[in-house]
Copies of this chain bind each other. A is one copy, B any other.
Amino acid sequence: MHGLHLTADLRGCAPAQPLMTQPNALRRLCLAAAQDAGLQAVGELFHHFTPAAPALGAAQAGITGVVLLAQSHLAVHTWPELGAVTIDVFVCNFQGNHSRCAHIALERLVEAFAPGEVTRQELQRAGAHPDLLRA
């Protein structure tokens, strides 16, 4: 069994939607996407950038955030100034096969941003011993 790393790079996301600029909205979405997909959050951290260009209001600055999972991690970066978002969901599969959970979480996140365009990729990561557990 191998770890699975899914990425989705989004374009054409409406810059004014709360998920692009409000850390609490993005945090709630990420935690719900993980939980509803059967992934266990063990920590989370979200950072709200401030725009370097003074013409842009603070409310338009993007967010970078991560949810640490028992199964590895989920990361989202938003660029409202570009209508762009990147999403990563990585499940190590060291405790069993969480690949389906990863796909469910990713799709939930992608759909929430209602992008005009999505580029998806996936990596097979190093294999695992399925009988090792940790929580």
Q: Measuring CB to CB, which residues of chain A are less than 8 angstroms from any residue of chain B?
A: 3, 5, 7, 9-11, 42-45, 47, 49-53, 61-62, 64-66, 68-70, 72-73, 75, 77, 79, 81-82, 84, 86, 88, 90, 92, 94, 119, 121, 123, 125-126, 128-129, 132-135
Contact = CB atoms under 8 A, between A and B. Distances in A.
A12 B123 CA distance: 21
5 contacts: A3-B86, A45-B45, A49-B70, A50-B134, A53-B132
List the number of copies, as a whole number.
2
Given A52-B135, A90-B88, A73 B66 contact: yes
Given A72-B86, A134-B61, A5 B7 contact: yes
A134 B62 CA distance: 9
Contacts of A132: 53, 79, 81-82
Given A64-B72, A77-B92, A86-B72, A47 B43 contact: yes
A125 B49 contact: no
> DSSP class of A's interface residues: helix, strand, loop or mixed?
strand
Q: Across chains A and B, which 7 residue pairs bring their CB atoms closest together, nearest first?
A: A9-B126, A52-B133, A45-B45, A66-B66, A43-B47, A42-B47, A52-B134
A81 B129 CA distance: 10
